[in-house]
Every structure is written in structure tokens, then in C-alpha cells.
Chain A
């Protein structure tokens, strides 16, 4: 390859790389640097006070356990619902076009706007959920104000928002399954459940892994609804890691500690990235 074409290649890449590096790679390194150096500590080159504080920070333990619990519940439930939706929409059911639209609509609406509607559903006096409980003679639940329910309430809304998005990937995969396999199963008189277990589910495995990683990523990256519904409360019962970072940086103005928390989030994402690349490898083998 000539010098000239080397130069052209870099000229083509440079504008895009400039923005990517300036707002992802460079700030990542700066976060690492900031987490070990604080403004007041000039005498010591490295300052691990922020990291020591991690161990004492009980809120952080709560936030981390919330985040993992949140992922642990929302991810499998969304995936199971997404699979069911895809199977329904892919079958010869009447009105499947309408159903596909219904399932997918929450995906394209802004989290903030739909959270405003859900806020009403959850409100203690006039909210719809408590109105339903009232029919059964239940006194009602303070969905967002009760520490036992606030995280759960966020999960319900998240599942509603995300299941339709994951459905799309299953739907694409289902449409790629050869009909001959199903014809063969029909000749063998295989039951619907057996066909699903032996044919559909194994063939969807790469999709499931792909969706799984993306769902876990989303569980850590998406906190918009917290701003409307709970603000992480009551008493941090529904606080999640990224929201906690935001609070530290922009409400408590503790940039150093926010940097340490960002390092933790980055570590979680790196682990997920490693899993994802393992997953992508496997997807290739399936083809």
C-alpha cells in the first residue's frame, strides 16, 4: 500500500475518531486519573481516599445490590415475555399485525414521557393500580413511596418498556428458521411443546445470548425513569448505580467520588463486553 493511500485512509477516519476518542476513550482515562487524584492532595501523587471511602459507603452497597437485583429480575422476565410475544406474532393468530404494533410501541416512546403516565398509575390516592386493589377490598399500596415496593414498581415499568424491543430480535430469528424443520416435526407428530423444546428454542439460543447481554447492559445504562418516578428513593431503596453517579456529581458536587463510582460501572461494562465477544464468537459458529 502506498504512502498516499495510508494518508487518505487516516484522513477519512480522523473526523469520526476525533469525536469518539474525545468523548469516550479520553474521558475514560480521565475518570481513572481523577479517581486517584483529588484537588486538595498535592503532596501525594496518588490518593486512594476515594477508594477507601467506597468501603464505608453503605449507600453504595445498597445501590449495587439494587442494580444487580434490578437486572436479575427485569432481564429474564423481559426475555421470556419477548419470546412469547415473538411466537404469537409469528403464528397465524388473528390480528397479529395489531399485536406486533402494540408490543413494539413502548420501545419508541421516550422513557421520560411514559414515566409521567406511569407515575399516575402508581399514585397512592387516585392511581389505577390502587383502584384495582380497591375492588378486591385491599387498602392499597404506596407503590413508589414504600421502600419494599419502589424498586419493584420500577421493574414493572422497565419490563413493559423493553420486552417489545427484544421481541423484534426473536421475531427476526424465527423468520429465519427453515419451515422444513417444522414440516418434519409435523410428520413425526411432535407435540407443540416438544417442537418448541427440540427445534425452536435451540435455534434461538444465539439470539437469546445476544439479547441477554444487551438487556443486562441496558439495566445498567438506563436510569431515566428514576428521575420521574422515585428519584432513587425512599431512602435509596430504588437507587441505581448510574443515578447515584449523577447524584454525586451534580447534586452533592463530589466529582472525585463520582469518578470512583464511574470506574466501578466501567468495570461492570468491561466484564459484560468480554462476555459479549464470547457470545458473538459463538454466533458465528452457528452460521
Chain B
């Protein structure tokens, strides 16, 4: 009885695995073969890079990619600095209103800026910074999630280390930079990977605040590129899709273990 159950269980696991990978495998198939093979499978289908060439010509992928990279790095850089400072204050300093500040931060974990697109758009419009990198990044420059995660990590750092650094004559910023930051490296990696994949994939807010390819990230560019009105065929869309997910996919395959652990780490804190 047991081998039979095992056999079924293994088969089910693999069937599901294949089903889960299938859309990506299909995209590879369609992108690397001539359009007439998009709908039927043949072992002898010739390989071709033509779809990539067409996709590349029809949409400014380089520009989109650059925009995404700039926006994602701008957000990540700012988050790392601002969250570190705030997390240290919350983890190690006594001050009036700490409970209140912490409550504000927990609140932000629930109500993300995405659902406030209407008001946030009005705010940005009143400062005339629609359609700019800073406009796309602004609502995300600080992360409640990052503060929370770092605060939990900083609280596990032994107080003795900080006291020793003080005796050595370190000032406040020196203590944070030399004692806390090095000890929280795994948390920084976890947060960075989660943040990068979140903002690389973010769509709704960039859609609302960008109008031109000067600031449009890949996701918004892909939505326009893939729209039926644009009359692009499937193979080309698949090629475009692969171009847009390529860097992230490579990053993921290289750091697979860290990625998975980061998501766990980030989720369980």
C-alpha cells in the first residue's frame, strides 16, 4: 500500500511542478522559435532570435530597464539609510512618544501606499513631480516593513558591544555604522532582496504617475507593449516578457537559496 501512495504523491508533486513552470517554459519556447511555432510544438522547429530583435525595436526596453534600475536603486538606497536610523531609535533609545511612533509604523504595514493612489497622485501633482523618478519613488523612500525588520534584529545585539564602542569614543552614528550594521548583514540582505523584487514588479503606482518613457518602468512598458491594440504577435510578446524578467530571473537563479531564505526571514519576523 505504501509504495502506491508514494508513487501517486510523487507524481502529483511533479505534475504540479510542471504546471507551475509551464508558462515560463512556454515563453522560452515561443520566444526562441519563429512565430508559426507559437501554437504548435515540433522537435525540429528552427531556433531564432528574430522575436527578440523585433521586440527590441518595438519598445524602448533599454530605457525601461534603465528606469526600473534607477527607481529600484533609489528606493532601496533611501530605505536602507532611513530604516536603519529609525530602527536604531526604536530598538535602543527611550524617548517620549515611542509607543505612538511604533503604532504609526505598524499601521503602515497594513495600509500600503498602493491603495491610496488617488490622494498620493494629488499630492505629487501639487508639487509637479509627476512623471519623474523621484515621483515614482517618493511614497516608498521609507519602509515600515524595513524599520520593523531591522528593529527586531537590532534588539538582539548585545548592549555590551555598544557600551564598549562608547568607551572607545564612538559617537551615535559611529555606533550604528560600526556595531549594528555589520551584525545585521543577513537582515539587510533579506530586506534588500524582498524590496528589489517588490519594486521591480510594482505596477499600479508607476502606471498612475508616469506618462512618458522618460520615467516609465519595465512593468508599465510591458503593459503597453502587450496590449492587444498594439498588434504585436505572441512570440514577440514572449520575447519582450523574457527581456523584462531576464535580469530578475538571473539574479534569482544565482541567489536562489538566499532568496528563499530571505522571504522566510522577512515573513517570520
Contacts and interface: CB of A to CB of B under 8 A. Distances in A.
Interface string A1-45: 100011011101101111111111101101100100000000000
Nearest to A85: B16
Contacts of B248: 108-110
Contacts of B101: 13, 17
B218 interface: yes
Given A13-B85, A120-B234, A105 B119 contact: no
A99 B9 CA distance: 13
Interface stretch (B43-51, B181-189, B203-211): B203-211
A168 to B, nearest CB: 5
A105 B263 contact: no
5 contacts: A12-B86, A104-B259, A113-B244, A117-B238, A255-B122
Interface in A68-84: 81, 84
B141 A19 contact: yes
Given A15-B142, A102-B20, A110-B203, A28 B86 contact: no
A34 to B, nearest CB: 7
Q: Which of A18, A99, A106, A171 has the most CB of B within 10 A?
A: A99
A25 B244 contact: no
Given A23-B120, A25-B104, A266-B115, A9 B141 contact: no
A261 to B, nearest CB: 9
Q: Is the interface of B mostly helix, strand, loop or mixed?
A: helix
Contact of A262 (B17, B110, B118, B240): B118
Interface residues of B, number: 88
Interface in A90-120: 93-95, 98-120
A249 B248 CA distance: 32
B148 to A, nearest CB: 11
B110 A172 contact: no
Q: Which of B89, B105, B200, B244 has the most CB of A within 10 A?
A: B89
A111 B248 CA distance: 13
Q: Which of A24, A163, A223, A227 has the most CB of B within 10 A?
A: A24
A284 interface: no
Given A192-B5, A221-B115, A5 B93 contact: yes
Contacts of A18: 142
A262 B197 contact: no
A164 B23 CA distance: 14
A265 interface: yes
Contact of B142 (A20, A245, A272): A20
Interface string B87-111: 0111001111010010011011011
A171 B265 CA distance: 12
A219 interface: no
B86 A13 contact: yes
A17 B248 CA distance: 30
A266 B219 contact: no
Please name the 3 residue pairs, one residue from A and one from B, whose CB atoms are nearest each other, closest first. Answer: A27-B119, A9-B95, A23-B139
A110 B245 contact: yes
B10 to A, nearest CB: 6
Contact of A118 (B5, B23, B89, B108): B23
B222 A164 contact: no
Given A5-B93, A108-B248, A224-B203, A27 B123 contact: yes
